[in-house]
Amino acid sequence: MIRLLALLVSGVLTASLAWAESFDPSSAYRAVLDAVVHERHHAVVGLAETFLATHPQIDHAPQVRLWLSMSLGHLRRRAEALKALDRLKHQLDRDDPLWPDVLFWEGELSRKIAQRLRAKLVWTQLLEQFPESAWVPQTHMGLGLVYL
């Protein structure tokens, strides 16, 4: 019985590894994007984690990591979401266009788990470094909520 179970698990792992090696990054990215657009947050998490595990250095990885973080936040897994954002921040170049999005969502997640100081700091950074960002009005609103 144990031997049969071991063979079954081995076969599943081998099949999973073969699938991961044949994983097409462009179709996988489209699948994650489709799940994001349709707000299927559980699907985003699974698809994004697979995408990032198989193609961590691909150009779309930072965007996918941001979507992963946002979906974790929507699923109220906010500590995990902040960890994903922290990993993303270490991977981004200083001039990456994702910075305003990352800072806004870091502030929003921090506010929701009562890390008000962190929220204030990142939102202030967003306002100082990206005063033309589309996130500025919502950042002001978020800061207002933090200061209540």
Q: What is the pLDDT of residues 16-72, one digit of tens each?
A: 334 344 457 788 899 999 999 999 999 999 999 999 999 888 888 999 999 999 999
Identify the CA nearest to 66 among candidates 38, 96, 95, 25: 96
Annotate 74-116 with DSSP letters as a single string: HTT-HHHHHHHHHHHHHHS-TT-TTHHHHHHHHHHHHHHTT-H
What whole-number distance in Å separates Cα of residue 116 and Cα of residue 121?
9
Residue with the two structure tokens 């921090």: 110
**pTM of model > 0.75:** yes
Of 128, 75, 66, 74, nearest to 101 (Cα)? 66
Per-residue pLDDT tens digits for 90-117? 999 989 999 999 999 999 999 999 999 9
